[in-house]
Amino acid sequence: MATTGAGAPAITAPSSSTFTASSPFSLKASRTSHRQSARRVSVNVRCVSSPPADTSYKTKVPRNANMAKLQAGYLFPEIARRRAAHLLKHPDAKIISLGIGDTTEPIPDVITNAMAERAHALSTIDGYSGYGAEQGEKKLRSAIAATYYADLGIEDADIFVSDGAKCDISRLQVLFGSKATIAVQDPSYPAYVDSSVIMGQTGLYQQDVQKYGNIEYMRCTPENGFFPDLSTVARTDIIFFCSPNNPTGAAASRDQLTKLVKFAKDNGSIIVYDSAYAMYISDDSPKSIFEIPGAKEVAIETASFSKYAGFTGVRLGWTVVPKELLFSDGHPVAKDFNRIVCTSFNGASNIAQAGGLACLSPEGLKAMHDVVGFYKENTKIIVDTFTSLGFNVYGAKNAPYVWVHFPGRNSWDVFAEILEKANVVTTPGSGFGPGGEGFVRVSAFGHRDNIIEAARRLKQLYK
């Protein structure tokens, strides 16, 4: 095939496409010279494609240049796209998804009954309610403070109920603004980095090192116990820190968090502490950053009911902004966050909040611990599987994620191998940052039968 112009294809007809004078394409010549020998005329047909004229209407509004910095799609939709492509290629494949951390087990009755009762009450005169407080219902805020922050000096007014920790991360980014500098664990949950890019806090993506400019990547490896060497970390305004960590599953110790709080104080930084998996902690690792003395002066904490009660679809979480936390000019951070919340959010669903209140009842807490225990049993099955195959495995003890090392391998290649040969979806470690290369994250969220079957397939693949 030849090409013309800017790489457009040109098609040259083969000899079999040569036309004679007696063909319909040369009818006139046939009639006037029918007694002459038919002349063979070689026709070189060149079909040059040109881009169709763009007739769509365009506004005069320029695209947000920060959106153009983002690399491909957000991690988990990209995994879903590749899963769908695999199913298109293998429509009979029985895929088991251990990729995105989405819960699978039913929400306990004690919680759904409370939501159903609240929903039904909305159809009555006495039970109907419209807009609620943007910060959340007082009963729920009080219950959160009493359940998770008793004796830590956190009050109802410090708590902002929301539709989930992920949403609050973006609201916090709006609070900090485009000129804030950030640090993230490497690897870490991609929402921290992507929201920073969208806000304009970063430079361009540097393909050679797989990092964005103007972000401080705090490398977390097996060698440093998945806690960064803070002596090598440059000062930033904001430090995003997740413990237990997604994706590595590592929970920071009390000593490590004490060092982190001191580091933030010494640098005048604010820690955004993501505690979405705190209920999975089974050792003496702190479940809240506010267990560390002085943390209220340098930290914000986000949390969620998603992975405790199966609220990934219900959507309910909270963020703690202590009154002691001040900007450099002395203005309370909580006051500005309250303004952001009141401007961009009308409050969490009243039905979801009824479920949250039920979660924190004695029966609800027991039910959530049972759900967490189920997923931790799944985690053990996954750990035992990879360990028996000779892999180095991390995390798992205090989190629903297993961080598996494939030395020298590209993590997307490992993802593709497991999907193609075992019909199991995992998450490539490099999707969480350059520090995740060579690892895959395996989620323990799944029905028990699926976990057992996935373990069987993985043993067959890597035996």
43 vs 435 pLDDT, higher one: 435
What's the rounded mean pLDDT across residues 355-364? 98
Residue 15: the pLDDT is 42
pLDDT, tens digit (0-9, with 9 covering 90-100), for 109-138: 999 999 999 999 999 999 999 999 999 999
What is the pLDDT at residue 13? 39
- Cα–Cα distance, 432 to 400 (Å, whole number): 16
Looking at residue 350, its amino acid is N
Please indicate, yes or no, if residue 10 is contained in any of the structural domains.
Answer: no
Sign of the alpha-carbon torsion through 335, 337, 339, 341? negative
Q: pLDDT tens digit string along 214-228?
A: 999 999 999 999 999
Contact of 193 with 143, CB cutoff 8 Å: no
**Are 273 and 350 in a shared domain?**
yes
- CATH number (domain holding residue 409): 3.90.1150.10
In a domain, 324, yes or no: yes
pLDDT digits (tens, 9 = 90+) for 244-302: 999 999 999 999 999 999 999 999 999 999 999 999 999 999 999 999 999 999 999 99
Q: Calculate what percentage of the chain has a pLDDT beyond 90.
A: 86
Q: What is the pLDDT of residue 19?
A: 37
Residue carrying structure tokens 């995390």:
395
What is the model's pLDDT at position 44? 53
Q: What is the CATH number of the domain that holds 287?
A: 3.40.640.10
Residues 378 and 355 in one domain: no
Q: Are residues 113 and 55 in the same domain?
A: no
Same domain, 184 and 56: no
Biggest distance spanned by C-alpha atoms of the chain: 111
- Phi, psi of 73, deg, nearest 5: -95, 170
- Whether residue 261 sits in one domain with residue 181: yes
Spacing of C-alpha 376 from chain mean position: 21
- pLDDT tens sequence across 41-66: 454 555 545 566 778 999 999 999 99
Give the lowest-confidence range in 28-42, 103-117, 352-366.
Answer: 28-42
Residue 264, domain member (yes or no): yes
Higher pLDDT, 15 or 253: 253
pLDDT for 220 equals 98
pLDDT for the residue 54: 76
- Structural domain contains residue 12: no
For residues 80 and 99, give the distance between their C-alpha atoms in angstroms, rounded to a whole number.
9
* CB-based contacts of 403-409 (< 8 A; 24+ apart in sequence): 403/247, 403/248, 403/249, 403/429, 403/439, 403/441, 404/439, 404/440, 404/441, 404/442, 405/222, 405/438, 405/439, 406/438, 406/439, 406/440, 407/438, 408/438, 409/438
Report the C-alpha gap between 179 and 163 in whole angstroms: 26
pLDDT mean across residues, the chain: 91
pLDDT tens for 421-433 read 999 999 999 999 9
pLDDT in tens, 138-187: 999 999 999 999 999 999 999 999 999 999 999 999 999 999 999 999 99
Cα 410 from Cα 436, distance rounded (Å):
10
Q: Within this chain, do residues 278 and 346 fall inside the same structural domain, yes or no?
A: yes
CA angle 202, 205, 206 (to 5 degrees): 125
Q: What is the pLDDT of residue 12?
A: 38
pLDDT at 439: 98
Is the pLDDT reported for residue 38 higher than 60?
no
Which one, of 135, 136, 159, 132, lies nearest residue 147 by Cα? 159
Whether 135 and 33 share a structural domain: no
Is residue 13 situated within a structural domain?
no
| Residue span of the structural domain in which 32 resides | 20-69
Q: Are the C-beta atoms of 215 and 182 separated by less than 8 Å?
A: yes
| 456 in a structural domain | yes
Answer yes or no: do 154 and 228 share one domain: yes
- Could you give the number of structural domains in the chain? 3
Residue 100's pLDDT is what?
85
Final residue of a structural domain among 361, 395, 419: 361
